[in-house]
Structure 1
Amino acid sequence: MKKYPFVYLACTAAVVGASLGATPASAGHMTHVVHAGQSIQKAVDAAESGDTVLITPGTYRESVTVTTPGLTLRGVGRGVVIEPAAAKAAGTCAAGGNGICVVGTKERKVEDVTLASLTVTGFTRSGVYATATDGLTVRHVTAVKNGVWGIAQEGSVRGVFRGNTARDNGDAGLFLANTISAEQGATDTGGTLVERNRLEGNRIGVTVRRLRNLTVTGNHLTGNCAGVFVVGDENKPRAGQVTVAENRIVRNNKSCPKTARLDALQGSGIVLTGTEDTLITQNVIRDNAGTSPLSGGIVLFKSFVGTASERNRISDNELSGNSPADLVDQETGKANTFEANTCQVSRPAGLC
């Protein structure tokens, strides 16, 4: 049998030096090192739960599907670039226009996969796409110029998205949803965390769609058409119980045209639409300006189907230079509260 020329090393920690080698560590788990010109997918297919696939610098023209729980797929930095294959590639991940796919099933979520320290670019749909995962970690991934989403996940729980860069993607830099293909109520993510990411030049920086129990914190969002969207509708359970805190949301003034479901976008900091029991606190929101119905620093807006946002709390945010106003409440919803925000102009007046 022909052996594929990976290097297999027992490890808990792979140390990559000038020679791009690795050192052995604890028993039981292997490191599979992939060099430029080799196939990442073949290494992933050879790996077992707990193993690491370590990718050395180079451009890899392929899509990669991960279904093995406990697998780590890690590059050694931005010099590891995954791009679409020149010819039509086989496999559902490539056929779907995605770069890296992490895929579980409805019956069994794929658990504890980690993606780290690489770049995915130029895919017609998503740089990273995950479905039916539990405990997925995506860190220090750069997703650039993908057709729809930079990094996207649906039908998943307990994810961690930390320290990533999503830039110039066609829709959201980071997109998290209950499901994309069906209408249903919001699902509980079990505490998914979106933390310290940089989201720039996308249509929307972060979209949270029909989810509950999720935190978006410490991110930097600039140059998008809109910074953060938290989206719900009339389905039960309602979307909400999301915390958006301590983010810096500045000059999201790119102009994006109207779509079938959403007005034209420009100059939106944070938009809540059709949500409940969401906390927006301690964010810095500056100089987001536009003429869209959704423009403004923090905007409460009826959902696409007319469902009001209710019992959301907007407190202790620092807002300035947003137009048409720092705080915009277009709702007739119940018990939305605005308190202790530092701002200059609101619509209606009196919210600052």
Structure 2
Amino acid sequence: MLMLSSLLVGALLVNAGARAADIIVKPGQAIQDAVTRAKAGDTILVEPGIYKETVYIDKDDITLRGVIRASQWPTLEGEKIRNDAVLYSGSGITVENLKIVNYKGNGIMGQAGNNFVIRNNWIIDAGIYGIFPEFGKNGLIEHNVLSGIEDAAIYVGMCDNVDVLHNEVFDSVAGIEIENSRHQIVDGNYVHDNTGGILAFITPGLPIKTAYDIIIRNNFVVNNNHVNFAIPGSIVSFVSKGTGITIMAADDVVVENNIITDNEFIGIGIAGLEFISAVRSDPDSEPNADRVQILNNLMWNNGTNALPQVMEPLKAAMPGIKGVDIANLGQGKGGCILEKDRYVSVGLDNYSKCELTSTADTLTYTLAEPVPVRQIAAGEKGKAAYFGICAGCHAYSVKMIGPPTVVVKALYQGRPEALAEYIANPVKKRPDYPEMPPQNYISAEVRLEVAKYMLSVEK
């Protein structure tokens, strides 16, 4: 029933009544040319073949759909020289049935686009993020397969009302990452052989300061023991090899009916922002993971290589113990656990017993009606671009993929024109950060406005 409901929800996210025409793209033609010709409601059908380009969709109600025949896929090939495969900023965008390989930045990235559907895509070695909706609302990410991503295979950043359903993610640093987002369902995914499986957390210094109301259920979280190959100093570079589910500073997270096995560092880890000493606090982000609910889950053979401060007291109290399923290292309040004695755990003394309950009646967090198209006033263009694009790589005082905003301000304060030029034509200057992708698809006016806004940000 849940799978059926997700398909129905996906149909609701796009204004199907606006569909006007099919535009067919064949090998040797450019997908971007089809996007340029497309009108609201059109479907772009990409035939099997190799397409060496970046596709940018800045219109509303467009479907980009690959045509798969006899196991032959339409393949976007980055050749490790292109940064992004698909970027969209429009509302009502669907991206499906594409194979994406060998990009340096992102496989599919949403830049403040609402009412999105990303499904049935096969993404391999697409750079830093595989599927990355940023600052969007009302989205569905389902039935995608992703591997070889050096930050997060699926990264939901600063989004509301998103369902992440029935995906397979493996051989990446983070499998599924819910960051500074609210009203999220992560359900029915196969998350294996990553450094960390599923993460729900707050990154301090982003424009959205909270993460809450997150359901993590019915997932297979297995053998996430891959070596961490993230960019040194980034948030996910601190994820320990062997982590199943991590909850850091996110509130009202429910963990239910997951199978969590063979994660050598921890099955479920709960912490506040103090757990990562290199992460500076944000006075507007409450640092603890409050009201976490751990309901029925099947767990075994986790935590066989846990932190000494976790294992040593356990071994003293329980001789012969080989691992730990759940560790709470934070100061969060209001947490509860159902049938605590089923698991080997530490730090749950302040957790009460959960009532016998379930999230099964919550079928989706997507909305019954599409979110209205985002209206951006003339004076708000810089802020919108900062939220939808820049904040994907820059936090105020925390190292993400790019340098902290405070560093950018120190370099360019009083020189927004110089920053706008760098945004369009960046040059790699520092070995501890990856090359910044050119943002020359953004108009000169918006580049200048976002430069001014970035230099004015105070937190």
Contact 2:19 2:40 in 1 (8 A): no
Aligned 8 A contact 1:65 1:102 in 2: yes
Question: Quick check: 1:232–1:240 contact (8 Å CA) kept in 2?
Answer: no
User: Do structure 1's residue 267 and structure 2's residue 247 form an aligned pair?
Assistant: no
Whole-angstrom distance in 2 between the partners of 1:334 and 1:349: 11
Residue 134 of structure 1 aligns to a residue in which SS? coil
- Is the aligned partner of 1:177 residue 2:157? yes
Kindly provide the CA deviation profile for residues 22-80 of structure 1, in whole angstroms up to 9, marking residues without a partner as x: xxxx9961111111111111011111111110011001001101112111100013611
Alignment partner of 1:42 out of 30, 33, 41: 33
Q: TM-score, normalised by structure 1?
A: 0.79
Q: How does 1:1-352 map to 2 (within 5 A)?
A: 29-77=20-68, 79-84=73-78, 97-103=83-89, 110-178=90-158, 189=160, 191-232=161-202, 237-256=209-228, 259-260=232-233, 261=235, 262-289=237-264, 295-303=265-273, 304-305=279-280, 307-323=287-303, 324=306, 325-340=324-339, 343-348=342-347
Alpha-carbon displacement from aligned partner over 1:82-116 (angstroms, at most 9, x marks no partner)? 01269x7xxxxx5xx1110011xxxxxx2211101
Relative to structure 1, is the Cα distance of residues 321 and 79 closer, same or farther in structure 2, using a 3 angstrom cutoff? same
Letter in structure 1 aligned against 2:54: S
Contact 1:117 1:141 survives alignment (8 Å): yes
Listed one character per residue, the Cα deviations across residues 102-158 of structure 1 (whole Å, up to 9, x for unaligned) are 11xxxxxx2211101011111111111111111110010111102201111111000
Decide whether aligned partners of structure 1 residues 305 and 343 sit closer, same or farther in structure 2, where only a CA change above 3 A counts: farther
The change in CA–CA distance for 1:32 and 1:341 in structure 2 (over 3 A counts) is farther
For structure 1, which runs of at least 5 residues remain unmatched after alignment?
1-25, 89-93, 104-109, 179-186, 290-294
* Higher RCO, Cα 8 Å, sep 6+: 2
Residues 287 and 321, structure 1, Cα contact 8 Å, conserved in 2? yes
- Deviation string, structure 1 residues 168-221 (Cα, Å, up to 9, x no partner): 11111001112xxxxxxxx6x1x2100000001110001111011111111000
TM-score of the superposition, structure 2-length normalised?
0.61
Q: Which has the higher helix share?
A: 2
Letter matched to residue 212 of structure 2: G
> Counterpart of 2:185 in 1: which secondary structure?
strand
Distance 2:195 2:218 in 1: 20
CA distances 1:4-38 after superposition (whole Å, capped 9, x unpaired): xxxxxxxxxxxxxxxxxxxxxx9961111111111
Deviation at 1:338, TM superposition (A): 1.6
Gaps of 5+ in 2: 1-16, 274-278, 282-286, 307-323, 354-459
Aligned residue pairs, count: 298
Aligned partners of 1:121, 1:27: CA distance in 2, in Å? 32
- Given residue 175 of structure 2, which amino acid in structure 1 is its aligned partner? G
Q: 1:129 to 1:28 in 2, by over 3 A?
A: closer
- Matched residue type, 2:263: N
Amino acid at match of 2:33: K
Instruction: Give the 3 Å change call, closer, same or farther, for CA 138–342 of structure 1 in structure 2.
Output: farther
How far the C-alpha of 1:344 sits from its partner, in A, is 3.7
- Partner SS, residue 48 of structure 1: coil
For residues 214 and 49 of structure 1, the distance between their equivalents in structure 2, rounded to whole angstroms, comes to: 28
From the superposition, tell whether residues 82 and 343 of structure 1 become closer, same or farther in structure 2 (CA, over 3 Å). Answer: farther
* Structure 1 residue 238, shift from structure 2 partner: 2.5
Does structure 2 retain, via aligned residues, the 8 Å contact 1:233–1:275?
no
Amino acid at match of 1:82: L
Conserved in 2, the CA contact under 8 Å of 1:326 and 1:343?
no
- Kept after mapping to 2: 8 A contact 1:257/1:264: no
Percent of counterpart pairs with the same letter? 23
